[in-house]
Amino acid sequence: MTRLWNDPSAFANEMIDGFVAAHGRYVRRVTGGVVRSTVSPAGQVAVVVGGGSGHYPSFGGLVGQGLAHGATMGNLFASPSTQQIYAVAKASENGGGVFLSYGNYAGDVLNFDAAQTRLRAEGIRCETVTVTDDISSAPADEAHTRRGIAGGLTVFRTAAAAAEAGYSLPDVTRAARLANDRCRSFGVAFTGCTLPGADQPLFRVPEGRMAIGLGIHGEAGLDETDVPTADELAELLVSRLLAERPASADARVVPILNGLGSVKYEEMFIVYRRIAELLEAVGLEIVDPHVGEYCTSFDMAGTSLTLFWLDDELADLWETPVDTPAYRRGSVVRAQQHADAPVAVVARDEVIAPGDEGSRAVAKTVVAAVQAIVETLDANVDELGRMDAIAGDGDHGIGMQRGSHAALAAALAAAGAGAGAGTTLSHAADAWADRAGGSSGALWGVMLRAVAAQLGDQGGPDAAAVATGVAAASREVTDYGKAEVGDKTLVDALVPFSSTLWQEVAAGASLTDAWCAAAAAATRAAAATADLISRVGRARTHGQSSLGTPDPGAHSLALIVTAVGDLLAARTSVAGSAHA
């Protein structure tokens, strides 16, 4: 249960404000997160970590000397947006290039990759290593697809120590990749967590039972048993991880017993007592054990064990002193504090090119359409959350709600400043992507921008222009997200929507009629995703459990195009009766 907040939708933002107020000695606020408040040597590789909020001390609490240079802090459990990541990277960059590292989740990959592309396009060198330590999330022969949990600390620390030691960007990347290859984690939980303002936990574990193979976002576990004794839990965790001991590992290992939020330190020490015995019994040399909270999941009662297998280089790097708000090792020589104000990175050019009269009239319809989208998402927010909680992380409703509300505000502002339809919709697209975060936020940004490009700012677009925009949206989403029809994503609704729209327009239907027929096709296709097993995105790990429930992203897309169809139909009939 989360008890204290003002407005749940402001939770992440206000949390960051307070965190910075409490830790100004270490961090300062920038667009999208925090960066060190101390000066780093010129030419040092900047290590930027991040992900959703709700995992403290990951990620903001790990910013400081010897560890991250910056952390992007997304909304609760939602990937930061491309714009947020880009802004934090820009503010961290110190002449040595940027090294990005984060847990391997679909939404984070989409957004961090886009930010990397943008940085490189500006001539800033940038490399990425995703953290894939959770052995329960995919088999060993697909280790690169695993998700990242508490083991991120080892990869971040290795990269940061390498940067501190003066490694070049390619060498930092190599060391971080090695650390990730040498790091394995496994987690369990006894209760789920409840996001601020939610009346239900993201998942429940029956009383007296323990979920096995748990993630850090309330993704349901893969298996379940009775709650074991502390020693039995230690045996379970150690045996699973020793079974995946890297072939090249020597005997040195760093164990990290991580608390996920409401398992007490005292309980973890009892578990750790047995873990240490078991590791020593098989001849391992325990180095610098960690027992505490490094990556939490709000108030979830759970714990995970990470084993980090050292070699000479990793062992040396591990000695680097660290001083951050939440994590200290050894003692650092204090660096100078930054005297100048933090760099403000502005989202986009605020100057709005005016549209012509025809396009300004269409911009009003764009605003009304976004308003209709807001209304349908508001009405369905809980249902979308429930659908996403079955195989994903439960945030699809709130993410879409946040994105659409931001889009409406941006569309109103742009149209109010005289923008044409294309500019109005492209501002809405950027605001949606920036505020929603997650996979769906990035994808809706791509879709709306593609349509906006066809609307333009001159004259009224005809039905063919709209159908062309939707076809471009469909193409760009599959290029960007790499999902195909049948993978159980929003692509399953988007493709039939786009193709039906094309066919109807080509056959001479009006935009309204074509759109409504296409929306009906999207609705049927979204419902049919209930029979599919997820193959892409966060839900992939829990593919089987999604059977019987439609894909939340496909469902929300169907709701949205239906609401816009209803709006067009209402406008057409009003226009029709006015002419009559």
Q: Which among ligand ADP, Mg ion, none contacts residue 362 (Cβ within 5 to 8 A by kind)? A: none
Closest approach of Cβ 108 to ligand ADP, in Å? 8
In the complex, which residues of this chain contact ligand ADP (CB under 6 A)? 79, 106-107, 388, 392-393, 395-396, 399, 438-440, 443, 477, 481-483, 489-491, 536-538, 551-554
Residue 392 as a binder of Mg ion (CB under 5 A): the answer is: yes
- Residue 106 interacts with, from ligand ADP, Mg ion, none (CB under 5-8 Å by kind): ligand ADP
Catalytic residue of the set 23, 69, 217, 427:
217
- Kindly state the smallest distance separating residue 247's Cβ from ligand ADP, in Å: 32
- Considering the complex, what minimum distance in angstroms separates the CB of residue 421 from ligand ADP? 26
Nearer to ligand ADP, 106 or 455 (CB): 106
Q: Shortest Cβ distance from residue 445 to ligand ADP (Å)?
A: 12
Please say whether the beta carbons of 282 and 242 come within 8 A.
yes
Location of structure tokens 């490009």: 453
554 binds, among ligand ADP, Mg ion, none (CB under 5 to 8 A by kind): ligand ADP
Residue nearest to Mg ion (CB): 392
What is the C-alpha to C-alpha distance for residues 429 and 436, in angstroms, rounded to an integer?
A: 10
Closer to Mg ion by Cβ: residue 325 or 385 = 385
**Residue 94: exposed, middle, or buried by beta-carbon count in 10 A (0-12, 13-18, 19+)?**
middle
DSSP string, 376-410: HHHHHHHHHHHHHHHHS-S-HHHHHHHHHHHHHHH
In the complex, what is the shortest distance from the CB of residue 380 to Mg ion, in angstroms, rounded to a whole number? 15
Q: Which long-range contacts (CB under 8 A, 24 or more apart) does 231-236 make?
A: 231/271, 231/274, 233/188, 233/271, 233/303, 234/271, 234/272, 234/273, 234/274, 234/275, 234/278, 235/274, 235/278, 236/188, 236/212
Residue 430 contact partner, candidates ligand ADP, Mg ion, none, CB within 5 to 8 A by sort of partner: none
Q: Shortest CA distance to 394 belongs to which of 510, 300, 533?
A: 300
For residue 217, indicate whether it is catalytic: yes
Residue 393 engages Mg ion in binding (rule: CB under 5 A): yes
Q: Does 147 bind Mg ion (CB under 5 A)?
A: no
Q: Is residue 321 classed exposed, middle or buried when 0-12, 13-18 and 19+ CB atoms within 10 A define those classes?
A: middle
| Binding of residue 252 to Mg ion (CB under 5 A) | no
Q: Which member of 108, 164, 299, 388 binds Mg ion (CB under 5 A)?
A: 388
Mapped onto helix, strand or coil, the DSSP state of residue 475 is: helix
In the complex with ligand ADP, which residue's Cβ is closer, 147 or 538?
538
Match 């070699």 to its residue by tokens: 311
Q: Where are the beta strands (DSSP E) in 55-108?
A: 70-76, 98-103
Report the distance separating Cα 515 and Cα 133, nearest Å.
45
CB of 498 to ligand ADP, least distance (A): 14
Both tokens of residue 42?
């010129």
118: its two tokens: 């943008």
Closest CB to Mg ion among residues 187, 392: 392
- Could you give the residue numbers annotated as active site? 217
Report the interface residues with Mg ion, using CB under 5 A: 388, 392-393, 395-396
